[in-house]
Structure 1
Amino acid sequence: MARTEVIKFRDFMDGTWSEPKKKNKAMELLKSVDLIPITLVPLAASALGFPVGAFAAESVTASATQVVAGTTLQILAHALDPITQILVAVSLPVASIVMIGGCFFFMFGNSEKAWSTIQNAGLGYILIQISPLFIKVLEQIGKSI
């Protein structure tokens, strides 16, 4: 039976699975160095009362939060754009078919239902065509608040 090779998905997608594995001398050196004294320096410094840590992290966190919030808002605001574009593209043929169906109601003598069907098809077509405008208006209102 042939041996099956398992490749990590990430390695497969970036193409590194076919390259020969290179030995990283820097990583081997780091593995061989005893890192325990280096990791104890911040603990000892904080025990002695010296301030340890990055003080600029608070300002970076605030700006990072704003960036993430802005990006998330933009992604959510435009998540349904492909669906909206499909509905706008399909609305004319669908409205045409519904209006033709309304005309058949005229032929069968049901003029009330015919006018209602034609009117609803026209109104639905107009609302679907201007729905991207509504979405942009709501997005601008959300940004201003």
Structure 2
Amino acid sequence: MARTEVIKFRDFMDGTWKVPEKNRGNMKKAAGSLVKAGTIVPLALTTAAHASAAESVKTTASAVIAGTTLQILAHALDPVAQILVALSLPIASIVMIGGCYFFLFGNSDKAWSTIQNAGLGYILIQLSPLFIRVLEQVGKSI
């Protein structure tokens, strides 16, 4: 029977599971220093037209942090929206079938209302990512 190798999730995601055990520490240190250098070098090389170098770095750093924070906040609920979009079809189908049962019981007004509301809700949920993107673009343009 073959042995099953267990790989830590973090090692799998950063690709260090392929590297021999003795070289992993050096690789992680090198990657960490490259990431730090990669974030500092562009900030150090930018200059503003009417500001000193120190003010330029502060302004650029705060703009980068603000942009990154806005990006994270804007897309924080994307997984929730994707789950809701994926669940909208089964839920709308169940509600529509429930509305059909109202026909059996002789309550056609409530049946049509239920089917119409389920269809409208399904369409709006499917279009919600589009609405979010439109609002994001409006926010960027202001």
Q: How many residues align?
A: 93
Match of 1:69 among 62, 66, 70: 66
1:140 alignment partner in structure 2: 137
Q: How far off is 1:144 after superposition?
A: 0.5
State the AA in 2 paired with 1:121.
Answer: A
Greater Rg by CA: 1
Match of 2:110 among 113, 123, 126: 113
Gap regions ≥5 residues in structure 2: 1-9, 12-51
SS of the residue aligned with 1:79? coil
Structure 1 residue 131 corresponds to structure 2 residue 128? yes
Q: How far off is 1:66 after superposition?
A: 0.7
Q: TM-score, normalised by structure 1?
A: 0.62
Task: State the identity %.
Answer: 81
State the AA in 2 paired with 1:79.
Answer: A
Q: How far off is 1:143 after superposition?
A: 0.6
2:100 alignment partner in structure 1: 103
- d(CA) in 2 for partners of 1:78 and 1:137? 13
1:8 alignment partner in structure 2: none
Q: How far off is 1:82 after superposition?
A: 0.1
Match of 2:55 among 55, 58, 62: 58
Over the aligned positions, Cα root-mean-square deviation in angstroms equals: 1.4
1:47 alignment partner in structure 2: none
Gap regions ≥5 residues in structure 1: 1-12, 15-54
Q: TM-score, normalised by structure 2?
A: 0.63
**Moved beyond 4 Å, runs of 4+:** none
Q: How far off is 1:57 after superposition?
A: 1.7
